[in-house]
A and B are shown apart, each in its own frame.
Chain A
């Protein structure tokens, strides 16, 4: 079963604009991660935010986490054509810590128009 749900399901913007996608989840977590998947390929880890963090930055990526609302957002600034991909949020399957399997949402498909 899917824990995370991304919103929107699809997003199309112009190159140079910012892209924001959201994720909601149902149960308590240790951390939340965002992954990118290019068409027909494996997933690439983008960023991990721990449950005691509220915001994290990595290059053009900014992630926020609101554990009271069980939600997270991923902001990609100054988008590029190469950012075209599907983006997934993922949470730990269990809250006991350690190297647990992940539960993924259905993803947001982002298209950057040149």
Chain B
């Protein structure tokens, strides 16, 4: 069964350092999402891609976060510099997407980031 892949699964870094997370969506899924989940909360959308284009990054802290999906397949989320408050689970999801589709999303296992 096809799955969304994420790496690394765990990342520990010191504040002010740069970190990067990678996501490979299910093959053929046009829409890719990055969510951040703070412990005890539900996921919050950071950025949404349709193919290689950003559709929604209204909740992405653009002063330190960046995301790209250059070839419309896999994606990278970067934080530079990391802050203590960035400690969270970063989840990637994909969906077949497209107009008039009902968006069941398929989630990867997540990357747990700890900033010291």
Point out residues on A near B: beta carbons under 8 Å. Answer: 2, 4, 30-31, 33, 35, 40-45, 48, 50, 88, 90, 92-93, 97-107
Contact = CB atoms under 8 A, between A and B. Distances in A.
Query: Which 9 A-B residue pairs are closest in the complex by CB-CB distance?
Result: A104-B42, A99-B97, A101-B45, A42-B107, A99-B103, A99-B31, A43-B107, A42-B109, A101-B48
**Interface on chain B toward A: helix, strand, loop, or mixed SS?**
loop
Contacts, number: 77
A42 B98 contact: no
Contacts of B102: 30-31, 48, 50
B99 interface: yes
Interface residues of B, number: 33
B107 A101 contact: no
A68 B40 CA distance: 29
A102 B105 contact: yes
Question: Which interface residue of B44, B95, B100, B103 has the most chain A CB atoms within 10 A?
Answer: B103
B91 A42 contact: yes
A6 B108 CA distance: 23
Question: Which interface residue of B42, B50, B110 has the most chain A CB atoms within 10 A?
Answer: B42
Interface string B8-41: 0000000000000000000000110100000011
B42 A48 contact: no
Nearest to B9: A40
Contacts of A2: 41-42, 44
Given A97-B99, A101-B56, A33 B43 contact: no
B45 A33 contact: no
Question: Which interface residue of B48, B56, B104 has the most chain A CB atoms within 10 A?
Answer: B104
B12 to A, nearest CB: 15
B101 to A, nearest CB: 5
A98 B45 contact: no
Question: Which interface residue of A35, A40, A42, A103 has the most chain B CB atoms within 10 A?
Answer: A42
Nearest to B32: A99
Interface string B73-104: 00000000000000001010101111111111
